[in-house]
Structures are given as structure tokens and as C-alpha cells.
Chain A
């Protein structure tokens, strides 16, 4: 479970998050929707202690994320908006192995995690391929595999569908459905809600650093225009 209590974060004098409280249960699928600059990315970067709040706390599975960042980063897998920003190795297998290697796991355990993570995103048997020779959709799936290799309880994806064509988007959604079925909670940060209404348990609308609404998808439809987010067709 991820619990955010009275979180405030500023960049200089600009208050990006203003007294936000939120809870994400295990196994839940939550969409954080909001226009550009609303504070969505700043919020999710607190989940695994990539940013430190000015005020408030973030608890991941009951432990303070900023006091125990490694535990938080192991429990919360983060997939960045641009997969290229996340890659730290040249080949698929080396990049997916990077996280487990940092945890000091045995070679056998690392090999198992790499194999299973790649299989989970339909990239099995492609560990030796160069990342920069993959399509955008494949790169997005490798980025997810890199997060899955940490065996997180929660998977956070920041604008995962940006720049993806329909087949790549479909393939990414299939991979997320599999993780959902496996019991991983999924948090998707986006302003593009196509295909997410039928999947999400809740939609949390964020505007100007505050939560505007937090409700089931069917009730969110009427509220989305209020925060300048388009309803999906």
C-alpha cells in the first residue's frame, strides 16, 4: 500500500503539490489524470523517494519512503515518461539486470528475474538485442521489464503511451493487464485516458497541485473537463 499524507512540494516559490493526501491499495489500478504541469510527475516521484517533500510523508507498505529509500525503490517500480531516460545499458538483458545487480542478488536469481521480466512483457529471448535498435513500443516494454525485475508491489508509469502507435499501445496495455492479474498495483500518470476507463478502479484528477476528485471511472467522466482533461471517445 502507498499512503501519501499532507504532502507539499515546491520548486523555488512555485508550490507544485499542495497538501495532498492519497492512498493506493495493493492490487489497485489507479489513473492519475491532469493537464500538463498539474504536479502528477512530482507526486509519483515522491513514491520512491526521487524527490523529498517539503512537508508531509509518503509511506510505502507502512515504511517511510525517505527514511528507507532502497526499500521504497524496491517496492515501487518506476517507468519514466521517456524510456530512453531510464536505460543505463546498451542491451536489453544488461539493462533489465541492472536493478537486481544493484540489490546484490545471486547470478542465478538475476538470470531468473531477467528472464521472467522479459517474458512478462513479451520480450522473451531478446536479451541480447541492442535497445537503440528497438521500436518505441518495444523500448517501453523493456523499460517496464527493468522495473518488474525489481519484483515491485507497485508499478508506476509516467505518461507511458506518449509517442506510441496503436499496436505498441495495445502491446503495452496487454503487459499491464498481465501485471494487474498477477496482483501488482498499477498507477498510470496520464492525460490520455483512452483504454483506461475499463481498466481503472479509480481515477484521481489533479489540477494546480491539488486533488480535484478521486472517484470510480464512470463518475470521473463528468469531472474531467473541469480539470482540462479530454474525455476519451
Chain B
């Protein structure tokens, strides 16, 4: 499951603000024109970031399998036409190029989650966005990062509980209904437990946040982020590498 794992990699040691900045620059670069050379470049950077974070592409893709499944439907839907010829290749290829650029963004975000403690993310958000908005955003991000894996684990347990008692033989509709109802009940229960736990431990909107500090490497990462973002403006296809 995709959650923070302690480590000593270069990505673990970076300040969360520079990592967030890199994600932003990378996302801007990805949402430029989805040409083939640009896609190759994005994938190369995505793979490199995952490797530098001590993570694996396989685990990142497994963590986001549902998103990838939804993305894969895009080209299929784009290919279908209402009436003859029923299927057209060109729109499917255009859609494929569009959705493909999401994959390296997913890789970079997976590397971020793997290499960044949740409370550091909260600290980065609250120090970057001032006032109540930053506090709300910081707490929201921290709770989401903390509880999505817990809820996914609950979902897995529900699926297993249904399977071990022969529930696989029931109709998809029946199983989907049970999973949805039980997942909702568990999620409500979890949020109740969370509220009590936060109360018991004196939850504060503006606590002492962890120390954050920029190193030389962080400045380099911020510079790379800016360069990545401005590549949107560059016609990469005209460069020697991509004639």
C-alpha cells in the first residue's frame, strides 16, 4: 500500500516544499503539448524520481491501478463512434497521448508520498499558504494521506470477509451493494474514532510544526522545477535530439 516509508534516499532528505514545487513544475510540463519526444522525456524523469526515492515503478503503478484503469478507458471511449465506421483510430491515438502523460505524474506523486512524512507535508502546506486557509489545507492533506490507506485496508478486509464465506458466488450487484454499504459504515466509524483520538490528544489547528530547512539540493530542485515548467514554452521537436 502506498504510504510513507522511512528512508535515507536523496528524495527523503529533500525539504517537502521543494518536492511540492517539483511536482507542480512537472505537472505543468506534462500538461504541455503531448508530443512523443515530450512523453519520452516525462517518463524518463518519472522513472528517475521513483528510483531516487528508493521506490519501484511496479509498486507505484499497483498503488494507482484504479486510476490507470479509468485512464485506459479514455482511448477506448474516444475510438467509438455512433454509427459507421463504429471505431476510429485517430481520436483513440490522440486520447492515448493525452492520458499517457498522466502516468509519469502518478509516478512522481507516488515517489513523494513514499518519501515524505505526513506531518512534513502538513508543515510545508501551512508554511506556504498563510492563515486559516493554510491550516485547513494542511490538516486536510495530512488526514487524507493518513486515512486513505486505512480505508483501503478496511475495503480489502471486507472483500476478504466476503470471499472466505463463499461470497464470490453471489452476483456482482449483491457484492457491490455489500461492499459499498460496509465500506461506508467503516468510513463513518473511522471518522468517529479519529475525532475522539484527535480530541483526546488535544488537537490544535496551529501546533508546533516540524522543523523544515532548505539545503543546496533543495534550491537545485526548485531550479529544475522552474526549468521543467518552462519547457512547455519550448518546441522540443526542433531540438537536435528530436529532429
Asked if B181 CB lies within 8 Å of chain A CBs, one says no
Q: Return A9 CB to nearest CB of chain B, in Å.
A: 15
Most buried by B among A48, A49, A102: A102
B interface residues, tally (CB under 8 Å): 25
Chain B residue contacts of A146, Cβ below 8 A = 201
Contacts A85-B193, A94-B118, A130-B6 given; does A78 touch B207 at CB 8 Å? no
Chain B, 188-207, CB within 8 A of any chain A CB: 193-194, 196-204, 206-207
0/1 interface trace, chain A 67-81, chain B, CB 8 Å (1 if under)? 001100110001010
Interchain CB contact under 8 A, B201 and A102: yes
Q: Which of A50, A94, A106, A129 contacts B199 (CB 8 A)?
A: A50
Chain B residue contacts of A97, Cβ below 8 A = 119
Asked if A104 CB lies within 8 Å of chain B CBs, one says yes
Asked if B129 CB lies within 8 Å of chain A CBs, one says no
Chain A, 29-83, CB within 8 A of any chain B CB: 48-50, 69-70, 73-74, 78, 80
Q: Which of B117, B197, B207 contacts A91 (CB 8 A)?
A: B117
Q: Which of A70, A91, A100 contacts B208 (CB 8 A)?
A: A100
Q: Which residue of chain B has its CB nearest to the CB of A73?
A: B202
Asked if A17 CB lies within 8 Å of chain B CBs, one says no
- The complex places the Cα of A29 from the Cα of B182 at a distance, in Å, of 40
Chain A residue contacts of B210, Cβ below 8 A = 101, 107
Q: Which of A88, A90, A91, A107 contacts B198 (CB 8 A)?
A: A88
Footprint of A on B, CB under 8 Å?
A: 3-6, 117-119, 146, 193-194, 196-204, 206-211
Q: List 5 A–B pairs whose Cβ atoms lie within 8 Å, in order of A's numbering.
A: A85-B196, A86-B201, A88-B198, A89-B118, A107-B211
Closest 4 CB pairs of A and B: A101-B207, A102-B204, A128-B6, A85-B193
